Chain A
């Protein structure tokens, strides 16, 4: 790991040096600092070494919470709702449009648990069980912002602005 990254992580670890449950906040911030929004293996090994928290324990935590990413994420994240309401309102169409028009890598088998990133690391595509906004179906989240009544054309316009 390069010294700059290491010193950044050192600073974050210091902030969370005390208290029960400190690992979650610490890892969240470290992930945010990562240019690809994920926790690489060497970063987690470094955290384990520095905090004296067992390696396996840290791995247990980051694999439990879906918030943590263990593979590089795209610059932009699109989450598509696959709940019943959104499905009947055509969320599958939006999903398939992205799938067929962008070069995603990874295992694309399960609509309900989709998690793909394009080869150029521009876009990450995820499926979500429900946003709880069924009245606005189909719902899509782009970089943290929720869009209701989404269409393929509407999404195209958002992506154009990336």
Chain B
């Protein structure tokens, strides 16, 4: 343990552990220090200049985020000089920031805006000089960057590098030319960016946003000839309440279903249905790989950021990834084939919209191979290449959906709950926990145990893979065979696991990899902020819902059983293969 030192903050004495920053010392003492660029454990660029404090004996003001405390240090956080310097620094940031806050996507949710309010900046003493105009980056299907709103805090750069180890962006140029960009300004869509959107979760302004598909979705809803189906991912129900003022961790599943129905979607379905389907397919794939000596360990494939990451950085491990499509894509394919038949409807009239906690899902839906329903109908309906349609038409983030619910005038707080529609809205507790790190593995174990032994797991909760530890592991005894599993979230943790595989030293049979810290509950499409305390609460909400479900195992989902009986035949069967499985592409974008 570090030694303790005596320090003074604003005249009061404190005893604190050495080697912490002035910022943390002040926070420990209950004193708020304003910051716009600092991110605990991730970023200490000291670029915003708002955390300045006065330290006795120091000539100039010091930045609290990068100054450590020491024995006898005397800190002043509330002197005239400090207050004025903070104001000046903020005014300088505002001097080259656009003034159209009312139209900004981040209006009322912007850290820069609330900071201006907190520091009581009521006028700007500097002329509004705009930086050299760098064109907006709209090259990505998932993310959108407006350089004009960027304050160069570099949080996005640090998150991309430290948390995700993708390193797609950096500050290029200097002075008035400085801007956050990709290699040779190619744009995020032409870079190694995996579309996870962790950058936009930490952006203090509206400079980084998800590509909005709200207008397109309204158009679909308003089109009387379209049959519009909405599917919502597990992690939405544990988080969307936050957008309507509910405390984090409030599960609002039934409200969500009711709200979506009020918005005139023709069917309100649940991606959890295909999460259960994924477990059945993927569980059988794993068993087949174990029995037939296939490539092991097998890695999950539901997280599109991870898929893009593997394609870019680890093309050598693509064989390890389950060939199962993600639940979103399975849903699109099933809705436009199986369900279209049930409705006796031309699949071209059906529009599938998803609500996802994820920005990478927007990219996933546009992958050229995700048109299985078209291929299914091609002969029967005599379709030509020009008719090719995607399995999933549009993808909304949790935040976009909340915006639409508000715009539609639906009173989310006072709405009475409803259920999802049948049959593609029927799901189990196993599917609910897909939304959190460890959930897919836990759901898979429940089903794999049954498939291998013919009996149910004595205890359904797999505590070892729960929680927010970066890499989690568990060993299970199934029919006398030891099965090792691992779970990781955040791509820096994924690298650890993949290195073992590349060395041929991986002890695991099955691995769950999620792109975002916390899994989908911490996805780039989720309500902001999404710090660890909030993630824990969202996680609890999903486990609570799982416990309360009557059916908690994917293979017991009656609608999935019916799907196999009347349409797919059997897991890993011919139709399953063409509709529910996919292939991956080696990328290496700059090579």
Give A contacts to B, CB under 8 Å.
Answer: 41, 44-45, 48-49, 54-60, 63-64
Contacts and interface: CB of A to CB of B under 8 A. Distances in A.
B88 interface: no
A60 B172 CA distance: 4
B479 interface: no
Interface stretch (B58-66, B181-189, B530-538, B553-561): B181-189
A54 B184 contact: no
A45 B173 contact: no
Given A45-B590, A45-B591, A49-B590, A59 B174 contact: no
B359 interface: no
B169 interface: yes
Interface in B165-192: 167-174, 177, 181-184, 191-192
The 8 closest A-B pairs by CB, nearest first: A54-B167, A60-B170, A55-B183, A56-B170, A63-B172, A45-B590, A63-B173, A59-B183
B162 interface: no
Contact of A59 (B161, B177, B181): B181
A57 B191 CA distance: 13
Which one of A41, A49, A56, A57 has the greatest number of beta carbons of chain B within 10 Å? A56
Contacts of A56: 167-170, 172, 181-183, 191
Contacts of B191: 55-56
28 contacts: A44-B183, A44-B184, A45-B183, A45-B590, A48-B183, A48-B590, A49-B590, A54-B167, A54-B168, A54-B170, A55-B192, A56-B167, A56-B168, A56-B170, A56-B183, A56-B191, A57-B170, A59-B170, A59-B172, A59-B181, A59-B184, A60-B170, A60-B171, A63-B172, A63-B174, A63-B177, A64-B172, A64-B174
A112 B174 CA distance: 16
Interface string B151-173: 00000000001000001111111
A41 B589 CA distance: 13
A39 B181 CA distance: 18
Contacts of B172: 56, 59-60, 63-64
A41 B177 CA distance: 20
B591 A49 contact: yes
Contacts of A41: 184
A49 B590 CA distance: 9
A123 B402 CA distance: 59
A16 to B, nearest CB: 20
B509 to A, nearest CB: 30
Nearest to A49: B591
Given A59-B172, A60-B170, A64-B173, A54 B161 contact: yes
Nearest to B192: A55
* Most chain A beta-carbon contacts within 10 A, residue among B174, B191, B192, B590: B590
Contacts of A60: 170-172
A40 to B, nearest CB: 10
Nearest to A56: B170
B173 to A, nearest CB: 5
B397 to A, nearest CB: 25
B254 to A, nearest CB: 44
Contacts of B171: 60
Contacts of B173: 63-64
B181 A55 contact: no
B169 to A, nearest CB: 5
B181 A57 contact: no
A55 B171 CA distance: 12
A41 B185 CA distance: 11
Given A60-B171, A64-B173, 11 more contacts: A49-B590, A49-B591, A54-B168, A55-B183, A55-B191, A56-B168, A56-B191, A57-B167, A58-B183, A59-B182, A59-B183
A116 to B, nearest CB: 18
Nearest to A62: B172
A58 B183 CA distance: 8
Nearest to B165: A54
A20 B123 CA distance: 44
A42 to B, nearest CB: 9
Contacts of A55: 167, 182-183, 191-192, 590
A59 B168 CA distance: 11
A158 B169 CA distance: 44
A49 to B, nearest CB: 6
Contacts of B182: 55-56, 59
A58 B192 CA distance: 14
Nearest to A41: B184
A141 to B, nearest CB: 22
Contacts of A59: 170, 172, 181-184
Interface in B192-231: 192
B459 to A, nearest CB: 44
Contacts of A58: 183
A32 B499 CA distance: 37
B294 to A, nearest CB: 31
A99 B174 CA distance: 27
Interface in B302-350: none
Nearest to B167: A54
B161, B172, B173, B591 pick with most chain A CB within 10 angstroms: B172
A67 B181 CA distance: 20
A55 B177 CA distance: 19
A48 B177 CA distance: 23
Nearest to A55: B183
Nearest to B168: A56
A112 to B, nearest CB: 13
A59 B186 CA distance: 11
Interface string B552-591: 0000000000000000000000000000000000000011
B369 to A, nearest CB: 26
Name the residue in B174, B181, B184, B191 with the highest tally of chain A Cβ atoms < 10 Å from its Cβ: B184
Nearest to A45: B590
Nearest to A59: B183
B185 to A, nearest CB: 8
A56 B168 CA distance: 6
Contacts of A64: 172-174
A59 B173 CA distance: 9
B470 to A, nearest CB: 21
Contacts of A45: 183, 590-591
A58 to B, nearest CB: 7
A69 to B, nearest CB: 14
